[in-house]
């Protein structure tokens, strides 16, 4: 029997790679130059390269010589640094990128000059979030955020300091049991899985919606006694109400679970990190955009969206509470 949505194709839906997805999206904007699509393509190529490195993480240690050399005699680097280099080098080849900021670089890197009319975008990323999970073969990820360059800024690096509401795209790649990319370009969230046998990301989900409720919270409970009182009250209430706790310790893996199954992810202020641990520009903002685009909420405090925070520095930290709308409301009602 023919599938009604795809006349002529017996019982099948079209296969969509990330490249065709990006081109489909670009076609919705006839004035688009293609620069933006090329930036997304640099990120997807980087994700494939990082994925390949992550899969070999412990093998490289074992096959390399004791000390710091791998089998080719090259000096071994930490995977965070390798992932950072991969993204930097792929993005450096894209004329549309003006400036790049990364968790791994103290200062933003200017790739193409301010006066070059073609350079219209700023890209920020955490190249390998949760990298301590590599030691235990756990999930790690890449998080990215794309902004249009702020033409009002005289200093090109200041272009980065725009609130998350100005992001034009955001996403993450989870290097878990499979390599998964969640992407939004402001029109819902789509999901892709890397097929390693052909080296292509294939679309597996469109316009994802976070379940509005799920009795599950995700935070580092070791910090419980140093959390502000409101969070302690919330935890007491949640445990009394039959909630489960799930915490991978890599934000990408924890947020991915919540995107698919619902629940709430929290990183409140703690004694060790009084402003919160997570970084606003390349961890909290892109996750907040994804979560909101999927129908969830992402707040720093009651009524205060993460996406509305006006940044003052590239590496600033923030409190994060995000996930299913009702579950975020429950947290807020205890603060």
Q: DSSP label at 76?
A: P
Q: Which is nearer to ligand AHM, 249 or 302 (CB)?
A: 249
Three-class secondary structure of residue 49 per DSSP = helix
Q: Applying CB under 6 A, which part among 10-18, 35-43, 111-119, 248-256 lies near ligand AHM?
A: 248-256
Smallest Cα–Cα separation from 148: which of 312, 33, 31, 36? 36
Pick from 18, 40, 42, 126: which binds ligand AHM (CB under 6 A)? 126
Pick from 18, 43, 91, 250: which binds ligand AHM (CB under 6 A)? 250
Helix axes 285-293, 251-261, angle to 10 degrees: 10
Distance CA 143, CA 314 (A): 15
**How is residue 253 written in tokens?**
């893996």
Minimal distance in Å, beta carbon 192 to ligand AHM? 21
Distance CA 222, CA 205 (A): 35
Minimal distance in Å, beta carbon 260 to Mg ion? 21
Q: Which is nearer to ligand AHM, 37 or 51 (CB)?
A: 51
Minimal distance in Å, beta carbon 137 to ligand AHM? 16
What does 327 bind: ligand AHM, Mg ion, none (CB cut-off 5 to 8 Å by kind)?
Answer: none
Q: Which is nearer to Mg ion, 126 or 190 (CB)?
A: 126
Smallest Cα–Cα separation from 323: which of 310, 311, 309, 306? 306
Restricted to residues 183-242, the positions that interact with Mg ion (CB under 5 A) are none
Confirm or reject binding of residue 249 to ligand AHM (CB under 6 A). yes
Please answer whether residues 125 and 137 qualify as being in contact, where contact means their C-beta atoms are separated by less than 8 angstroms: no
Confirm or reject binding of residue 17 to ligand AHM (CB under 6 A). no
Confirm or reject binding of residue 130 to ligand AHM (CB under 6 A). yes
Q: How many residues bind ligand AHM (CB under 6 A)?
A: 10
What does 277 bind: ligand AHM, Mg ion, none (CB cut-off 5 to 8 Å by kind)?
Answer: ligand AHM
Q: Which is nearer to ligand AHM, 187 or 244 (CB)?
A: 244
Please answer whether residues 121 and 97 qualify as being in contact, where contact means their C-beta atoms are separated by less than 8 angstroms: yes
Please answer whether residues 282 and 145 qualify as being in contact, where contact means their C-beta atoms are separated by less than 8 angstroms: yes
Confirm or reject binding of residue 162 to ligand AHM (CB under 6 A). no
What's the CA angle centered on 293, arms 273 and 41, to 5 degrees? Answer: 90
Q: DSSP label at 74?
A: P
Confirm or reject binding of residue 91 to ligand AHM (CB under 6 A). no
Smallest Cα–Cα separation from 124: which of 314, 319, 307, 311? 314
Confirm or reject binding of residue 251 to ligand AHM (CB under 6 A). yes
Q: What is the distance in angstroms between the CA of the first residue and the CA of the last residue of the chain? A: 55
Pick from 131, 167, 179, 319: which binds ligand AHM (CB under 6 A)? 131
Confirm or reject binding of residue 327 to Mg ion (CB under 5 A). no
**How is residue 280 written in tokens?**
């606003």
Please answer whether residues 181 and 171 qualify as being in contact, where contact means their C-beta atoms are separated by less than 8 angstroms: yes
Distance CA 316, CA 223 (A): 21
Smallest Cα–Cα separation from 83: which of 37, 138, 139, 125? 125
Pick from 126, 190, 292, 327: which binds Mg ion (CB under 5 A)? 126
Pick from 44, 50, 121, 129: which binds ligand AHM (CB under 6 A)? 129
Restricted to residues 259-288, the positions that interact with ligand AHM (CB under 6 A) are 277
Q: Which residues bind Mg ion (CB under 5 A)?
A: 126, 129
Q: Which residues bind ligand AHM (CB under 6 A)?
A: 103, 126, 129-131, 220, 249-251, 277
């Amino acid at each position: 029997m023919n599938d009604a949505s795809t006349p002529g194709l017996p019982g099948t839906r079209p296969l969509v790679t990330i490249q065709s997805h990006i081109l489909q999206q670009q076609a919705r904007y006839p004035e688009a130059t293609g620069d933006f699509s090329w930036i997304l393509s640099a990120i997807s190529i980087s994700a494939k390269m990082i994925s390949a490195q992550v899969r070999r993480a412990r093998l490289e240690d074992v096959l390399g010589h004791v000390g710091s050399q791998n089998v080719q005699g090259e000096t071994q680097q930490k995977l965070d640094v390798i992932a950072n280099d991969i993204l930097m080098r792929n993005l450096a080849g894209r004329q549309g990128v003006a400036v790049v900021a990364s968790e791994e670089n103290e200062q933003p890197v200017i790739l193409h000059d301010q006066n070059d009319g073609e350079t219209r975008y700023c890209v920020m990323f955490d190249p390998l979030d949760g990298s301590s999970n590599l030691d235990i073969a756990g999930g790690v990820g890449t998080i990215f955020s794309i902004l249009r360059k702020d033409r009002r800024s005289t200093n090109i690096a200041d272009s980065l300091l725009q609130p998350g509401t100005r992001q034009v795209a955001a996403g993450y790649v989870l290097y878990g049991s499979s390599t998964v990319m969640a992407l939004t370009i402001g029109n819902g969230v789509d999901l892709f899985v890397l097929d390693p046998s052909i080296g292509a990301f294939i679309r597996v989900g469109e316009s994802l919606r976070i379940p509005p409720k799920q009795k599950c919270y995700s935070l580092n409970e070791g910090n419980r006694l140093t959390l502000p009182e409101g969070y302690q009250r919330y935890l007491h209430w949640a445990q009394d109400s039959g909630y489960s706790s799930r915490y991978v310790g890599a934000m990408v893996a924890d947020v991915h679970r919540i995107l698919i199954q619902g629940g709430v992810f929290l990183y409140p202020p703690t004694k060790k990190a009084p402003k919160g641990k997570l970084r606003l520009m390349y961890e909290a903002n892109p996750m907040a955009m994804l979560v909101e685009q999927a129908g969830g909420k992402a707040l720093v405090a009651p009524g205060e969206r993460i996406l509305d925070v006006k940044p003052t520095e590239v590496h600033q930290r923030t409190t994060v509470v995000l996930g299913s709308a009702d579950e975020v409301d429950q947290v807020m009602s205890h603060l």
